Amino acid sequence: MAQVFLLPKKLRQFLIEIGELTYFAGRFFKEAVKRPFEYKELLRQCYQMGNRSLVLVLVTGFIIGLVLDLQSRPTMIQFGAVSMMPNMVGISIVRELGPVITALVCAGRIASGIGAELGSMRVTEQIDAMEVSGTNPFKYLVVTRILAATLMLPLLVLLGDGVALYGSALVEYYKGDVSFQLYFNTVFDALTYGDLIPATVKSFFFGFAIGLVGCFKGYHSKKGTAGVGIAANTAVVFTSMFLFIIDFIAVFISDIFYDL
């Protein structure tokens, strides 16, 4: 009699959840191209996500620019390469730190908010009421939020990068007597389309992952009101994991194109 090989329970649950998330993403692409389009709700979600995350992103970006410059400056002085500070900081922020840090901040702010909001609607049966009344809750609640997160994150990354560079320029102005004009001219001379395009493209995928996981966790929330907290918490954990996976894939693909 053949012995049946069973996967560990935790691994089996994880694989099942990945399958359900994949089906959820497929349903999103199917519903996103169907009429009617919820333009008003989409614009409202863009405003909510962008406006409420803006201050947090700007403060985080400014501190990242300050800290990165302050921490790197002594080492660059030691090797006699302090003149390369704008190049190093600019490329580091635009290519990697800016998109990843902004996405992680938004994962904590947006994904948890979506998970808690949709989770509370699920446990209070508001989503069921929408289905009974003939409204498509998936299109109204899920599609609009995923699209809003996908569209808004690149804008937040752009603003976060700009503020981070300003924070670094502030340090160089006071510590190295480098004018703001010289600093930004040096940064823009060092940046190429090979730095900007991959960072911009992957920020769209970051936004999609944030919206998708947040909506998935909230839409399938269970176990009463306690499930709302679980949905918000697991949304942040899963989103952070996916962000690092997406970032690794983006960097790997970018390196292949650089080598060609």
User: In the numeric block, which tokens belong to residue 80?
Assistant: 């006699």
Cα separation, 111 vs 254, whole angstroms: 27
pLDDT < 50: residue spans in the chain: 1-2, 4
Residue-range domain boundaries for the chain = 39-259
Closest by alpha carbon to 130, among 217, 40, 116, 122? 122
* Per-residue pLDDT, 208: 94
* Per-residue pLDDT, 104: 92
* Per-residue pLDDT, 231: 82
* Per-residue pLDDT, 259: 58
* Per-residue pLDDT, 195: 81
Closest by alpha carbon to 244, among 136, 110, 104? 104
* Per-residue pLDDT, 258: 62
3-state secondary structure 10-23: HHHHHHHHHHHHHH
Q: What is the pLDDT of residues 102-115, one digit of tens each?
A: 999 998 888 888 88
Instruction: Provide the phi-psi class of 19: left if phi over 0, else alpha when psi is between -120 and 50, else beta.
Output: alpha
* Per-residue pLDDT, 1: 44
Phi, psi of 126 (to 5 degrees): -70, -35
User: In the numeric block, which tokens belong to residue 251?
Assistant: 């960097």
* Per-residue pLDDT, 5: 55
**Count of CB atoms within 10 A of residue 62's CB?**
19
**What's the start-to-end Cα distance of the chain, in Å?**
54
Cα separation, 174 vs 179, whole angstroms: 9
CA atoms within 13 A on the CB side of 9: 0
In the chain, the amino acid numbered 25 is A
